[in-house]
């Protein structure tokens, strides 16, 4: 399932503008991806759940698939900030990413299943490694490789998460590098 997308979905709130500045200060340090993601996560966490973070338009979902609102893409392509709006039951495919990523649950709850790709040289399959339920305020930071997962809204209400990617999602259209079609545990 590919998200529906809105690029530059309206003006940024004052609080989101401040968050973008905090993220820029971290990214401009030029640290390794894992450390950058961790530090960006620390900056994102205090903003989660604040009613003034997103505009009403940036909270709108899509009845057919989760919706991606690209809020900011840095001019040099070094990072993007995205709001993902998930209606009940919506989910991603199993995928990995083009860059480091930080995801913070702003509203509702997200369910994430993490995987590891196992290969014997002739065939490969996915092994489920962890299932995590993230309520509002939860932050996860990671960098490839080892970032294979599926995310879904398992709640009965809308979930919104704020994602920061170390890439220009406005230009790329998505943060997804590869979709895994191998079923979990199926050694094809």
Q: What is the tens place of the pLDDT at every residue in 4-63?
A: 444 444 589 999 999 999 999 999 999 999 999 999 999 999 999 999 999 999 999 999
Return phi, psi of residue 53, to 5°: -75, -40
Closest CA to 78 of 20, 142, 132: 20
pLDDT digits (tens, 9 = 90+) for 141-178: 988 877 888 899 989 999 999 999 999 988 777 777 77
Res 138: pLDDT: 95
Alpha-carbon span 174 to 48, nearest angstrom? 22
pTM of the model: 0.86
Q: What are phi and psi of 19, to 5 degrees?
A: -60, -45
- Under a CB-based contact definition with an 8 Å cutoff, are residues 16 and 69 in contact? no
């Amino acid at each position: 399932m590919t998200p529906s997308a809105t690029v530059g979905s309206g003006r940024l709130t004052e609080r989101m503008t401040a968050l973008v500045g905090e993220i820029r200060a971290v990214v401009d340090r030029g640290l390794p991806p894992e450390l950058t993601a961790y530090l960006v996560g620390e900056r994102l966490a205090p903003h989660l759940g604040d009613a003034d973070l997103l505009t009403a338009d940036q909270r709108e979902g899509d009845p057919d698939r989760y919706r991606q609102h690209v809020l900011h893409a840095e001019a040099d392509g070094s990072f993007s900030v995205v709001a993902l709006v998930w209606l009940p039951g919506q989910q991603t495919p199993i995928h990995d990413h083009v860059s480091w990523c930080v995801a913070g649950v702003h509203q509702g709850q997200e369910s994430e299943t993490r995987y590891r790709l196992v290969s014997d040289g002739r065939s490969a399959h996915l092994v489920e490694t962890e299932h995590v339920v993230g309520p509002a305020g939860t932050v996860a930071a990671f960098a490839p490789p080892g970032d294979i997962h599926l995310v879904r809204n398992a709640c009965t209400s809308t979930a919104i998460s704020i994602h920061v990617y170390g890439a220009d999602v406005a230009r790329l259209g998505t943060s997804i590098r590869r979709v895994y079609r191998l079923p979990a545990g199926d050694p094809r």
